[in-house]
Chains A and B, each alone.
Chain A
Amino acid sequence: MDLISILLGGLTSGMVLFIVSVGLSITMGLMGFVNLAHGGFAMLGGYAIVLSMNKWGVPFLPAVAIGFAAVAAVSMLLERLFYARLYRATELDQVLFTIGLVFVMISSVTLVVGPETQTLRLPDWLRGQTDLGFIKYRSYSLAIIAAGSVLVLALWLGFERTRFGAKIRAAVDNRRMAESVGVDVGRLFTVTFAVGSGLAAVGGGLGAEILGLDPQYPLRYLVYFLIVVAVGGLGRVTGVFFAALLIGLLDFVLKIEFPKGGTLFIYALTLGLLLWRPQGLFGRRGG
C-alpha cells in the first residue's frame, strides 16, 4: 500500500472514532461522570440505522437521521431517569451502573435481533471508487472523512461562537463557578448527553463497515473510546479530534505492519502519555 492510501484509511477510522467519542468527552468533562455505556449507544444507533435500511428499506441518509433521533431520545430518557441520580455518587457506583447498562443493552440486542454480525448495505452512490485526481479511493471512506470534517468544523463553531458553547466551556472549566453565575449545568448536561449519544449512534452506523456491528461491540471498543477521550483531554472538541485521528491512524498502520499484537504499542503510548500528562494531551490541568 502506498502512503496516501494508508493515510486515507487511517483518517477514515480516525473520523469514525471521533464521531463516536466526541460526546463521551464532553459529557465526562461536564459532569465527571464515568459513562462506560457510551459504546452501547453507538451500538444501538448502528442497529437502528442498519435495520431500518435492511428491513424497512429506508434510504441511507434518512436512516442515519432516524438512528440519531432514536438514540438521542432514548439516552435523554435514561439520563433523566437514572444518570441524574448518580451525578454526586461515587465513581464506583457510576462504573457499576454503566457496566450494568451495557450488559442490558448487549442482551436486549441479542434477544431482539440475534447475536450475528450486521452488515451495512451501502447505497449505490457510495459504492465503488472516486477519482481524486492523484489517487482513486473508496467513495464511502471519502464520504466518512468528509462527514467527520464537516462535523468537527460545525462542533468547533458551535463551541467557540455560540452562547450555548460558551456555557459548556465555562462548565467544563469550573462547574461550581458556572453554576453560581446562573448556568443551568443540569440542563446543559441533558442536552449534550442526548446530542453526544446521538452522534455516537451515527458513528456506530457509519463505522459499521470498519468496526463491525454485533452485540459485543460496546465492550470490545470500550477501551478504545476511553483511550481517545483520555488522550484528547476531557471536554475538548479539538482534543478529541486530534486524539481520534492519531489513534485511528496508528491503529490502521500497526494492524497492517504488525497484525499480531500491534495494538500493544497504542496501550503503551497511552500509558506513557497519561503518566506524563494525566489531563490528556489537550486538556487543562485541574479542570
Chain B
Amino acid sequence: MTQLPAAELLAARHRFRGWEALPWVAGIAVFFLFPSYLAFGTQVLVTILFVLSLDLVLGYAGIVTLGHAAFFGTGAYTVGMLAMNWGWNEPLSGLLAAALVSGAVGLASGFVLLRTRGLTLLMLTLCTMALLEEASNMGSAWTGGFDGMPGLTFKPLLGLFPFEQLSFRPQYLYALAVLFVCFIVVRILVHSPFGQTLTGIRENLLRMHAVGAPVHRRLVTAYAISAALAGIAGGLFAQCNAYVNPAVLGLDRGAGALIVLILGGYGRLYGAFVGAVAYMLLEHTLAKTYPTAWQLGVGLMLMAVALYARNGILGLGESLRRRLRGDTGR
C-alpha cells in the first residue's frame, strides 16, 4: 500500500468506498431471496436505525446514556397517538412529526441534562426515560395506558402501497428506504467539521474547551439530532407493526440498543448494521429455544467485551485484517 500524505488521507475519508454498497445490496437481496423473513427483516432495519442514532451520541460524542429509548418511545407514541386520537395516519408526515417531537424533547432535555457528566448524566437520562414511561401509563385516555395502542391503521404509502400485516413487503422496503436516507444524513454529519468537533469532545473535553469550541452547544445539537433519528425509528416501528406499547420506552429497549452497538463496534457507522444483524439473528434462532441460556450468553459476552475486546465485531475484524497484512504497528 502506498502511503498517502496525511492531508490527502484526511480529505479522502468521507469518500464512498465500493464495499459501502454492500449493506444495501444485501438488504435488497433479502427482499427477493427470503420473502418469508420480511417481518423479521423489518424489525432488524428499525433496530439498525435506532442503534445508529445511539452511535451518534455514544460513539461519536461520547455521551453514555441508558435512556435513549425515551426518544424511540416518544416517536412511536407520537405516530400512534396522532393515528388513534386525531386520525392523522399518513405515514410520511407521521414520521416527520415523530422526528420533530422527539427532536424537540431531545433538545429540551439535552439543554438541561448535558451540563452534567458521568453518573449524574446517566441517572438523569434514566430518569427521563422512566418519567416518560410512567406518563404513558398515566395518560391512558390518550396513550392506551398499560395496554398501549393495538391495531393502528395507516394510509397507504405515498397513496399507492398499503401496509400488509402478513407479508410485510411494503413495510420492509419502506424501512430500508428510510434507513438509507437517515444513514446518509448521519454519514455526512460525522464527516463534517461538526462531527469532528464531537469526536474531539469525546477524546479530550478539556482541550476542546481550551481551543474555544462551543462544547455544550455542539453536544446539545448532536443529542437533538440523534433524538430525532431515534424518533423516526420509533415511528417506523409503530407504523410497520401497527401497534405501540409501553415497552418501547422501557429499560430493556434502551439497554438493548447499547448492547447491539457495543457488539457491532461503536463510533464506526457500520457497527449498528453488523451488531443488529448478528445480535438479532442469534436471538431469533437461540432465544426461543433457550431463553435463559441466551441471556447467560449475552451476559458473558458483555463482560468479555468490557474486559478484553473493546471495539466489538468490527474492531476485531480491523485488528485481524491488520495482523494478516503483517502490520505490527498500532
> CB within 8 Å of B: which residues of A?
28, 32, 34, 82, 85-86, 89-97, 99-108, 110-111, 219, 222-223, 226-227, 230, 234, 260-261, 263-264, 267-268, 270-271, 274-275, 278-279
Contact = CB atoms under 8 A, between A and B. Distances in A.
Contacts, number: 127
B119 interface: yes
Contacts of B66: 95
B299 interface: yes
B302 interface: yes
- The B interface is mostly helix, strand or loop, or mixed, namely helix
Given A86-B306, A97-B306, A107-B295, A271 B124 contact: yes
14 contacts: A34-B119, A91-B119, A91-B122, A102-B299, A103-B302, A105-B299, A106-B299, A107-B295, A108-B296, A223-B126, A264-B138, A267-B130, A267-B131, A278-B120
Contact of A261 (B122, B124, B138, B298): B138
Nearest to B138: A261
B306 A89 contact: yes
Nearest to A114: B292
Interface of B: 58, 64, 66, 112-113, 116, 118-120, 122-124, 126-128, 130-131, 134-135, 137-138, 140, 145, 251, 255, 258-259, 262, 292-293, 295-296, 298-307, 310
A32 B119 contact: yes
B303 A271 contact: no
**4 pairs of A and B residues whose beta carbons are closest in the complex:** A100-B302, A103-B299, A261-B138, A97-B306
A275 B128 CA distance: 12
A18 B298 CA distance: 31
B258 to A, nearest CB: 8
A269 B302 CA distance: 32
Contacts of A107: 292-293, 295-296, 299
Given A86-B307, A92-B58, A106-B295, A267 B134 contact: yes
Contacts of A230: 119-120, 123
A111 B130 CA distance: 29
B292 A95 contact: no
Nearest to B118: A91
A105 B300 CA distance: 10
Nearest to A263: B134
B293 A100 contact: no
B251 A275 contact: no
Given A264-B134, A278-B116, A270 B296 contact: no
B306 A100 contact: yes
B60 to A, nearest CB: 13
A95 B122 contact: yes
